[in-house]
Amino acid sequence: MKPPAQTPGTGLDQGSGAFHCADGPVGGGPGPAASLARVEAPLTVNGTAHRLPLEDRALLLDVLRDRLRLTGAKRSCDVQVCGACTVLVGGEPVSSCCFLAHDAIGREVCTIEGYAAQESFAAVAEAFSRHNAFQCGYCAPGFLMTLKPLLERGALRSRADVEREFAGNLCRCTGYRAILDAICDLAGIAP
Ligand code: FES
Ligand code: FES
């Protein structure tokens, strides 16, 4: 389950290049972002320690995608409904579109790029491929990052568990059946 929503960002948080540049607004001129406070903050992502100037209201998804170029986590609904932006913070799934980057300080952040580099990911990728689970794949990082801790804890014991735990991950292409089949397969749940 994802934690409650963090303070939603402003329009500036959501896609303005001016807001995301580490060294100042893009395109010249003192935009509104110039007045926002920034503090140098340590952020550990996929095992790599970074020090980034972070605005108070910077959202984790923006920092990952625009500052660290980790574009696996996707923006879709932007309001903590679809799960496309799911990453792990301290081992727990969060909707990074609504999660303040400052709240990740001191906690390990894991994205799909980090998960995909782990040895255990090969079996996950194989199962999803075998079930033809995804079509466009836009939702895939969110499903997979939701899945990681559930598999590691052995928390999925029935199809009902799977349906409940993934109710917050939306897919626009498939009928969900193949995705849930792949997850059940990985969790050792009989069809
Ligand atoms: S983009 Fe974050 S939950 Fe949809
Ligand atoms: S496979 Fe396209 S959104 Fe899920």
Res 182 pLDDT > 70: yes
Summarize the confidence of residues 93-99 as an average pLDDT.
Answer: 98
For residue 158, is pLDDT > 90? yes
Listed in sequence order, the residues at least 6 apart from 73 whose beta carbon sits closer than 8 Å to its beta carbon are: 61, 64, 65, 84, 85, 86, 87, 96, 111, 112, 141, 142, 145
Pocket test for ligand 2, best of 81, 85, 135 (most atoms within 8 A of CB): 135
Cβ of 10 less than 6 Å from ligand 2: no
Q: Would you tell me the crossing angle of helices 140-153 and 121-130 to the nearest 10 degrees?
A: 120
pLDDT digits (tens, 9 = 90+) for 139-157: 999 999 999 999 999 999 9
Judged by its nearest atom, the ligand closest to the C-alpha of residue 84 is 1
- How many whole angstroms separate alpha carbon 138 and alpha carbon 144? 11
Q: Give residues with Cβ within 8 angstroms of 142, minimum separation 6.
A: 73, 74, 82, 83, 84, 85, 86, 169
Please give the single-letter amino acid code of residue 3. Answer: P
Label residue 1 by pLDDT band (50, 70, 90): very low
Cross-strand bridge partners of residue 40? 53
Percent of the chain past pLDDT 90, that is, above it, reads: 77
pLDDT above 80 (res 168): yes
pLDDT tens digits for range 72-85? 999 999 999 999 99
Average pLDDT, the chain: 86
Strands 48-55 and 86-89: unpaired
Ligand nearest to the CA of 137: 2
- CB-ligand 2 contact for 76 (6 Å cutoff): no
**Residue 97 CA to ligand 1 centre (angstroms):** 6
Please give the CATH topology (third level) of the domain spanning 11-111: Ubiquitin-like (UB roll) (3.10.20)
* Two tokens, residue 149: 């801790």
Structural tokens at position 164: 């409940």
Indicate the residue type of 51: R
Res. 13: pLDDT tops 90: no
- Please give the single-letter amino acid code of residue 157: R
Nearest CA residue ID for atom 4, ligand 2: 171
Domains of the chain: which residue ranges?
Answer: 11-111, 118-187
**Residues in CB range of 49: below 8 A, 6 or more apart:** 42, 43
Which tens digits make up the pLDDT trace of 41-74? 999 999 999 999 999 999 999 999 999 999 999 9
CATH of 118-187, one of 1.10.150.120, 2.30.40.10, 1.10.10.10, 1.10.1740.10: 1.10.150.120
**At 42, is the secondary structure helix, strand, or coil?**
strand
Which atom of ligand 1 lies at the shortest distance from residue 97's CA? 2
pTM for the full predicted model: 0.82
- Phi first, then psi: give them for residue 26, nearest 5 degrees: -80, 145
Per-residue pLDDT band for 9 (boundaries 50, 70, 90) equals: very low
